[in-house]
Amino acid sequence: MTNLENTIDRIQELIDSGAEQQLRDELNTYHSADLADIFQQLKPEERLKCITEIDEEKAADVIEYLPPQLQVEILGDIDTTLASRLISKLPHDEAADVLGDMEEDESQAYLDKLPQKFSSEVRELLTYNEDTAGGIMTPLVMTVYDNMTVKEALETIRIKAEKENMELYYVYVVDKHNHLVGVVSLRTLITTPMHLNISDIMSKDIVKIHVDDYQGHIADIFMKYQFNALPVVDLYNHLKGIVTWDDVQDIVEEETTDEILTSSGIVTDLGDEDDDILTGSLAHSIKARTPWLFITLIGEFIAVTITSKYDKTFSALPVIAAFMPLLAGLGGNIGTQSITLMVRGMSTGQITLSSGWHHIMRETITGLSIGFIFGMLVTLVTWGWQHNIELGLIVGIAMSLNMTIATMIGTCTPLVLKKMKIDPAVASGPVIATTIDVIGLAVYLTLVTWYLINL
């Protein structure tokens, strides 16, 4: 899809010239995922034109690939009868997501128009919190009974798969009360003699998730066991649905984005509807960015207050002030490196609380080594530039201390937050940068005042 822009130009020309048949042919050559990309670049009226030109199966498929906001927009713009037909062609979990993103009365209107069975299944999904397994799962699961033979099971699968557009990952085995009792792969089914009983060939060692499990937890389980799909059960072990890896892929991307934004001091969960910082309202974007900036402001005012106490030092030796950005900049950078390594390492599971000491030691030695190298460099450069060996030494020593302390703060803080059960990504970046500023300046100005001014 390197020529997305050419494609869009061509489609826009076809729309403008009213060449409907050619437009239809052109649109049909693309995969639904590509059409979703194209639709995002079109104007709203062009999108509507296109969605009515492609056949309904494909239109539903394209809608599945679109971002939530656009799904709701398009369905709201087209004829409601067509919209409800398209919704009924979506997988249950997608349909519930789309309807959940609409206004209450709008989604009710659609639910009333949908086929009875589909509508009641989607209504059940809508009762779950959308960040839990219940809100993510699809309720269509391929199940067979534990007292069937392989032959009966295969026949059941054939009939069910024909009737419902169902993904076939694993076949789940339930008892007559719909309790989940086992799992069997299609591969096992088709390579096992027909007369054997399902209960004899199924695996009873089932990894499962609970309807109320949160999405972060679900993603961790998928990442760890690397399954394609996991069954979802309620408190009584009734099979309620399955969560598939593609649902999880979206969760992982979302969680990673949250982790990255959070650690740069952007609040990702303001609890309002308008929750995408790149596309939401400006007010939302400002609200998401100000809280940690405000805390930085308070922190930096502490730095200002400390620094202002050294006004006599600046009057006596003004070049001292010029080195402040150097110390703060390098301290901040090496500290950020340490935080980033720790936060990421904890989120991938490479760093655990029990290996924490090891990493603290390792980072401290790294900080000392790099601090020593940079301290030497700064001493030499300053000496050569200012022809003042004492100044060079003081700045160099302050640099070494500052970088070492910054590394230690950057390494320990995420571990301490984790130990206190606080998400280490929260506030790591801005707060630590400010702390490093304050401590670094205090160390530097104390050294300078003792050795250069008072002597």
In the range 276-315, which residues lie near its own copies by CB under 8 A?
277-279, 282, 285-286, 289-290, 292-293, 296-297, 299-301, 303-305, 307-308, 310-315
Give, for 60, the enclosing helix (H) or strand (E).
helix 56-65
Amino acid present at 252: V
What single DSSP character describes residue 194?
Answer: T
Q: Which is nearer to its own copies, 103 or 155 (CB)?
A: 155
190 binds its own copies (CB under 8 A): yes
Distance in Å, CB of 158 to its own copies, minimum: 5
Contact set for its own copies, span 68-97 (CB under 8 A): none
The answer to whether 22 and 14 have CB atoms below 8 angstroms apart is yes
Cα separation of 242 and 129, whole Å? 16
Q: Which is nearer to its own copies, 118 or 245 (CB)?
A: 245
329 binds its own copies (CB under 8 A): yes
Q: Which two tokens stand for residue 360?
A: 């603290």
The DSSP line for 354-406 is GGHHHHHHHHHHHHHHHHHHHHHHHHHHHHHHH--HHHHHHHHHHHHHHHHHH
Q: Which is nearer to its own copies, 237 or 347 (CB)?
A: 347
* Residues recorded for the chain: 455
Distance in Å, CB of 244 to its own copies, minimum: 9
Q: Which is nearer to its own copies, 133 or 248 (CB)?
A: 248
Distance in Å, CB of 92 to its own copies, minimum: 16
Q: Which two tokens stand for residue 27?
A: 């649109």
Question: Which residue in the set 205, 384, 421, 455 belongs to the binding site for its own copies (CB under 8 A)?
Answer: 205
Of 65, 110, 89, 97, residue with least CA distance to 165 = 89
Strand order in the sheet with 229-233: 209-210, 229-233, 239-244
Contact set for its own copies, span 382-401 (CB under 8 A): none
Question: Which residue in the set 149, 178, 199, 333 belongs to the binding site for its own copies (CB under 8 A)?
Answer: 333
**Which window, 68-76, 109-117, 127-135, 347-355, contacts its own copies (CB under 8 A)?**
347-355
Contact set for its own copies, span 407-446 (CB under 8 A): 429-430, 433-434, 437, 441
108 binds its own copies (CB under 8 A): no
Question: Which residue in the set 115, 217, 249, 376 belongs to the binding site for its own copies (CB under 8 A)?
Answer: 249
Would strands 239-244 and 229-233 be described as parallel, antiparallel, or unpaired?
Answer: antiparallel
Cα separation of 123 and 71, whole Å? 19
Question: Which residue in the set 102, 186, 270, 408 belongs to the binding site for its own copies (CB under 8 A)?
Answer: 186
Contact set for its own copies, span 250-279 (CB under 8 A): 252-253, 256-257, 260-261, 264-266, 277-279
Amino acid present at 88: S
Contact set for its own copies, span 116-155 (CB under 8 A): 154
Give, for 143, the enclosing helix (H) or strand (E).
strand 143-145
370 binds its own copies (CB under 8 A): yes
Cα separation of 362 and 116, whole Å? 62
How many residues lie near its own copies (CB under 8 A)?
Answer: 107
Contact set for its own copies, span 221-240 (CB under 8 A): 223-226, 228
Q: Coil, strand, or helix at residue 109?
A: helix
Cα separation of 23 and 445, whole Å? 71
